[in-house]
Amino acid sequence: MLRIVRRGDRHDPRDLTVRSVFEGDFAAAFTEGRSEGLVPGETLKNLVHASARHDGSGEIEPFGLALCERILGGFPRITRVRVEIVEQPWGRLEVGGKAQGQAFAAGTPERRTTAVTSNGQQTAVVSGLDQLTVMRTSGFGPRRRRDEDDTGLQDGLQRLLVATIAAKWTYSSSDVTFGPYRQGVRTAILETFAAHASRSVQFTLYAIADVVLGLVPEIAQITLSVHERPYRPADLFSAGMENPDDLFLALEEPVGEVEVTVER
């Protein structure tokens, strides 16, 4: 759904996808086919829309918290709910160098995510980002010696890394300034990736986690994962050319994934 926040001539779009998952006492619906107490999809949809209209104009975390509360309040048979929200960012267009209030361009595939889980007493907020695709064209690890260098691929890793990063971090409180913290985590990821003199993907992920936990005391834990897209240098031998790491071809496999979770 698309929530347009209008403050005078300046509009802000919030492009949101909401998913909610329940647990509760629904055994009779499964074993006997009784539908009393089930959550009707249509009623739930209306509740989500009303909450989006009322609570959805800011960050996704407060919206998730408000929606959890409404669902637990509205359906007593639900004992535990998880609300997952994904936001697609839009950028403001400019005309003659001046930002327009009411015109936007879709951003990259990167998404902001949050998952708020509550049983009425306890609430947990996990925020994240997803599908952040980055490239490093040098600086990943020392060059290997020639005689270890028979696979092509391992060696290629050092001169080109194309990877999609995802991150999830758990807050120790649901009463923090989610927006600036999200921005801080994202900057830590990108700057560490861009500048870290890395020996390996593993080492870089750990360095990112270290920076984030040092930066935001209310983050109790962070999980970072990297999905690496394989490339190999093109073989230009038959064309009578050398190829000193200038032209790379995408491969289908192996796709490498590395994940690290660091707790405070």
The token pair at 215 is 């930066």
Q: Site residues for a second copy, window 60-89 (CB under 8 A)? A: none
199 binds a second copy (CB under 8 A): yes
Q: What DSSP assignment string belongs to 130-183?
A: EEEEEEE-S-BSPPPPGGG--SSHHHHHHH-EEEEEEEEEEES-S-S-HHHHHH
What residues pair up with 261 in beta bridges, in sequence order? 223
Query: Minimum distance between the CB of residue 232 and a second copy, rounded to whole angstroms?
Result: 10
Beta bridge partners of 16: 87
- Figure out which of the listed residues 79, 154, 173, 183 binds a second copy, where binding follows CB under 8 A: 154
| Measured distance CA(258)–CA(220) in Å, rounded | 21
For a second copy, the closer of residues 13 and 218 by Cβ is: 13
- Binders of a second copy among residues 202 to 261 (CB under 8 A) are 202-203, 205-206, 230-231, 234, 236, 238-239, 241, 243, 245-254, 256-257, 260
Binding string, 107-146, against a second copy, x = CB under 8 A?
xxx----------------------xxxxxxxx-------
**Binding segment for a second copy among 61-69, 115-123, 193-201, 214-222 (CB under 8 A)?**
193-201
Interface residue with a second copy, options 79, 151, 173, 183 (CB under 8 A): 151
**Which residue in this structure is represented by tokens 């989006």?**
52
- 3 near a second copy, rule: CB under 8 A: yes
DSSP string for 183-234: HHHHHHHHHHHHH--BS-HHHHHHHHHHHHHHH-TTEEEEEEEEEEEPEEE-
Contact stretch for a second copy (CB under 8 A) within 78-86, 103-111, 175-183, 214-222? 103-111
- Name residues contacting a second copy, limited to 7-46 (CB under 8 A): 11, 13, 21, 26, 29-35, 38, 40-42, 44-46
Q: Which stretch binds a second copy (CB under 8 A): 75-83, 100-108, 115-123, 174-182?
A: 100-108
Query: Can you tell me the distance from the alpha carbon of 185 to that of 215, in angstroms, rounded to the nearest whole number?
Result: 8
Q: Compare residues 217 and 236 and give the one whose CB is closer to a second copy.
A: 236
CA distance 232 to 98: 43
